[in-house]
Amino acid sequence: MRITLRLTLSLLVVVAAVAAFSAFFQLRQEREIQQEDLGRRSLLLAQSLQESVEPLLTKGPSQKLQRLVERFGNRERLAGVAVYDLKGTPLAVTASLASVLPGLPPIVAESMTAGVDVGGFVTVGGRDLHLHALPLRPDDKIAGALLIVHDAAFIQSHLSRIWRRTFLRVMIQMVLITFVTLLVVKWNIAGPLEQAAEWMKKLRLGETSEPLKLPKADFFAPIAKEVSTFAAHLAAAKSAAEQEARLRENAESLWTPERLKEHVRTRLKGKPLFIVSNREPYMDMHRGRAIETIIPAGGLVTALDPVLRSCGGTWVAHGAGDADFETADANGRIRVPPEDPCYTLRRVAITKEEEDGYYYGFSNEGFWPLCHIAHARPVFREEDWAQYQRVNQKFADAVVEEIAGVEEPCLLIQDYHFALLPSLLRARRPDARIAIFWHIPWPNPEAFGICPWQKELLSGMLGADLIGFHTQFHCNNFLDTVDRVLESRIDWERFSVIKGGHPTVVKPFPISVAFPNAFQDIAPIGKPVLDRAALLKELGTKAEFLGVGVERMDYTKGVLERLRAVERFLEKYPQYQGRFSFAQIGAPSRTHIKRYHDFLAEVDAEVERINWKFKARDWKPVVYLKKHHSHREILPFYMHADLCMVTSLHDGMNLVAKEFVAAREDNGGVLILSRFAGASRELRDALIINPYDIEQTADAIRYALEMDSEERSARMKRSRETIRENNIYRWAGNLITELSQIRREPRPAVPPAV
């Protein structure tokens, strides 16, 4: 109420001040106009009388001259007319004027002396008068003067009327403004604030989970955003507290964001965590005149963003968005996520030539097929290797800048793009604790041996204190490769390599997703997820059963084998034609590389062929969604699909499998999983298949659709329990624990000079 009163009074004072200021200038302007008009009329009257008065002036006082002035003295607003000779003696004066002007007005003498018209305002006997004197020249010599006297009181009366109208108008405006202000405050401010307060009360009491709905005006945009973010944090904290209480009750221990935050704080003694990767977690892109922030596709972002959200720190990555450096500061830094900043993103700029050689060339035409062994020949070029070295050095410079001033900084380097980075950092910051996690498989020594720079790559990786892979099998392959290529000592008991006196531990850390909030970028009180009917309508197909595949389009993911299995399933079990649709969500990737370009063309052709083969009016066997999808867009597919197919031909882990399981809170759906994906070592209740065996995969689709509901629920419950216990927070906690336990050997003392 006090705020409303202050607002209303402030508006009234401002309106009154503006009205008074405006009225003051209006009255001054009106006074000038009236005075100029009166002076003009006096001049015209004097000039019209001049011709009649001048011939009579030489005869002195006369009845004719008196009658003349009396006749003109009766006009409206004219107080009188007087004629004077050169000595100032009145020759004729209007009777009504004689008592008002007992003597010679100074203005008459001034006019005769100067020989010009003279006018002005005077107050005589309490009356406002306007005098206008005109010199008379009957013989071209000044012989007297004509005085025109007007009553100027009407000007003040006119101005008083304007003041009264202005005052009345201001009063009406004040009443209207007060009324409108009270209505605006009530409807557009007080009302929504009361609504927000009531919503927060219900949220606190657990009586609602609906999103806050405030007017979309700019006035409420900041508060609505902050309140929604606060509510999301409150809901997450409440959920975490309830979960922690349940765990204590059951004497269990679940890794949560809060636990990881405290664990990292304790292990790193309050120091920040640093992550290095090629792909950035948030990318700023131009969309017309606006700049849009998107989350790039890929398991690395899905896995690591929740880690830094929970414990804070800095993420160093390639700034690949066309608006990245417009939103970042001069040093390439920006706080992310945009809606709720938790950590710093440091963007590193690389040239097109560097990107072509380092990323598209060496990393993805050489390293990627080399490690995946998926029937694509690796290509190694000297110029690509040079760019790979140059970019690794550029990232080393950026990381050294970020860790300046931090003692024993903790660094997590990600993936095959930065095999040289550990040794580069070790040389410049020997006190740093460095881990590199390899997200893709590691091949056997024979396969890796075709790389011309295998010694340099292995030496670069061994600059780390800790090397992590998804599975023990990949760890064994790496140790075998090092044993065969480098002069080093392998400690098979501790799974470590000692090279040049520096030990490197090699261990498996199966990566996972954030559980239970695997889709942490979707606020728990956000926009409702599409239901199954709406989803099928969006896909443009009528189907009783729905399958889904989610990929960054890559030839290692077995997409073609998957499509052929769907085709074979519909051939082998025709009763499902018209009843089963498969949605393939595919984010195009690395299209500059010919092998990927050709692969995308093969997928397009295969989808078109299968849909043509089973052509129907309102049903599609395959719906191909060829674009990047956000987590919000993918979630309805995970939630409503009867089955999810992960048919990797060779994969380090594959987080799509774990995302699907994490999304199934209803314990429904069936996961069909390739035995060549690292996830198959953990998710043993999935239907494990050989993706090259089309018949087996087709039968797995049928088994998934016809599986008994109790079996389906039991399988999904066990899979969810596996991910629950081995989530991304546990992965990060274990990795940081291992890294923090590495002993730093004291440097030998330098003997004093003799």
Q: Which tens digits make up the pLDDT trace of 76-132?
A: 678 888 888 888 888 888 877 777 777 788 888 888 888 888 988 888 777 888 888
How many domains is the chain built from?
Answer: 4
Bigger pLDDT: 176 or 656?
656
Rounded CA-CA distance 265/296 in Å is 28
| Omega before 105 within 30 of 0, i.e. cis | no
Same domain, yes or no, for 376 and 474?
yes
Helices 257-267 and 728-740 meet at what angle, rounded to 10? 10
Question: What's phi and psi for 105, nearest 5 deg?
Answer: -65, 135
pLDDT recorded at residue 231? 65
Instruction: Give pLDDT tens digits for 199-234.
Output: 777 666 666 656 666 555 455 556 666 666 666 666
Mean pLDDT of 12-38: 80
Same domain, yes or no, for 376 and 403?
yes
Final residue in a domain of this structure, among 158, 174, 207: 158
Report if residue 96 sits inside a domain.
yes
Q: Give the confidence band of 255 by pLDDT, cuts at 50, 70, 90.
A: confident
Rounded CA-CA distance 229/480 in Å is 50
pLDDT recorded at residue 639? 93
pLDDT recorded at residue 12? 74
Same domain, yes or no, for 340 and 475?
yes
Q: Give the confidence band of 518 by pLDDT, cuts at 50, 70, 90.
A: low
* Least confident stretch, 49-53, 423-427, 689-693, 703-707: 49-53
Question: What's phi and psi for 36, nearest 5 deg?
Answer: -65, -40
Rounded CA-CA distance 510/708 in Å is 31
| 370 Cα distance to chain centroid | 39
Report if residue 749 sits inside a domain.
no
Mean pLDDT of 59-69: 79
Bigger pLDDT: 3 or 197?
197
Same domain, yes or no, for 617 and 707?
yes
pLDDT at 236 over 80: no
Mean pLDDT of 339-348: 92
Instruction: Give pLDDT tens digits for 132-148.
Output: 898 988 887 888 888 88
Same domain, yes or no, for 544 and 679?
yes
Bigger pLDDT: 248 or 715?
715
**CATH of residue 133:** 3.30.450.20
Which residue in 204, 193, 194 sits closest to 235, CA to CA? 204
- Longest pairwise C-alpha distance within the chain: 145
Tokens of 208: 């609602």
Same domain, yes or no, for 284 and 237?
no
| Omega before 337 within 30 of 0, i.e. cis | yes
Report if residue 525 sits inside a domain.
no
Rounded CA-CA distance 506/486 in Å is 16
Same domain, yes or no, for 16 and 79?
yes
Mean pLDDT of 41-54: 83
Question: What's phi and psi for 552, nearest 5 deg?
Answer: -85, 120
Tokens of 322: 């066309």
**CATH of residue 396:** 3.40.50.2000
* Structural domain that includes position 225: 221-253
pLDDT recorded at residue 584? 96
pLDDT at 523 over 70: no
pLDDT recorded at residue 479? 97
Same domain, yes or no, for 234 and 302?
no
Which residue in 505, 412, 507 sits closest to 465, CA to CA? 505
Q: Give the confidence band of 54 by pLDDT, cuts at 50, 70, 90.
A: confident
pLDDT recorded at residue 345? 96
Any idea which residue has 């002069």 for tokens? 487
Any idea which residue has 């006997």 for tokens? 125
Residues 38, 130: contact at Cβ < 8 Å? yes
